[in-house]
Amino acid sequence: MVRRMNASKSSYTRAESYKAFKFNANLDNVISTVDEERHSYLRNKMTHGYAGKGNLNLEQQIDNQVEKMIELIDRDYKSVGSDLRPLDFARLSQYFALDAITDVAFSRSLGYLISGSDHYDYIENLRQSMAMNLTLSTLPLAWSFFDLGWIRTLIAPSPTDAKGFGRLMG
């Protein structure tokens, strides 16, 4: 059912609650736009990037990130004797995803797998904001308050932020 609802040219329309997932206060993205024509346009723009047809180095870029992930595991999580070093694979997979995506998109990764840490608290900030966005998406009256231009500008990420999503925008 979900696949049919999200399929291209589906007869289902996007609810107003999707607006809660704006990253930029003044600009809709492929997730937050409820205008069907605009949503289709944005999805079509992304198609080539996901298909990987224009990137001849895609496989090598992913392989490089896999190697960096293995190096991080060997360096920071190899248990020796009674010195057990647990690995949070959920966090490691986030580092891998962010580095792989940015390497493919910008030909340079953000370096999560090299440092083994959450740069600028991006992942923690994303976790917190997604919890708030999910809550607001189910409470239309609350969302309408937060979607007021000047309030949204105050709470939305900005390129001048020292941490989180805004820091990576800048």
First to last CA, the chain: 39
Q: What percent of the chain has pLDDT over 70?
A: 96
Burial 77-86 (b: 16+ CB within 10 A, else e): eeeeeeeeee
The answer, as to whether pTM is greater than 0.85, is no
The whole-angstrom separation of Cα 2 and Cα 164 is 31
Nearest to 33 by CA among 131, 158, 23: 23
Task: Assess whether pLDDT exceeds 80 at residue 24.
Answer: no
What DSSP string runs through 56-117? TTHHHHHHHHHHHHHHHHHHHS--BTTB-----HHHHHHHHHHHHHHHHHHSS---HHHHTS
Task: Assess whether pLDDT exceeds 90 at residue 65.
Answer: yes
- What's the pLDDT at 29? 86
Helix (H, G, I), strand (E, B) or coil at 159: coil
Task: Assess whether pLDDT exceeds 90 at residue 145.
Answer: no
Burial 91-115 (b: 16+ CB within 10 A, else e): ebebbbebbbebbbeeeebbbbbee
pLDDT in tens, 96-139: 999 999 999 889 999 999 999 998 899 999 898 888 888 888 88
Helix (H, G, I), strand (E, B) or coil at 166: helix
According to DSSP, residue 24 is labeled B
Residue 30, by phi and psi: left (phi above 0), alpha (psi -120 to 50) or beta?
Answer: alpha
- What's the pLDDT at 144? 81
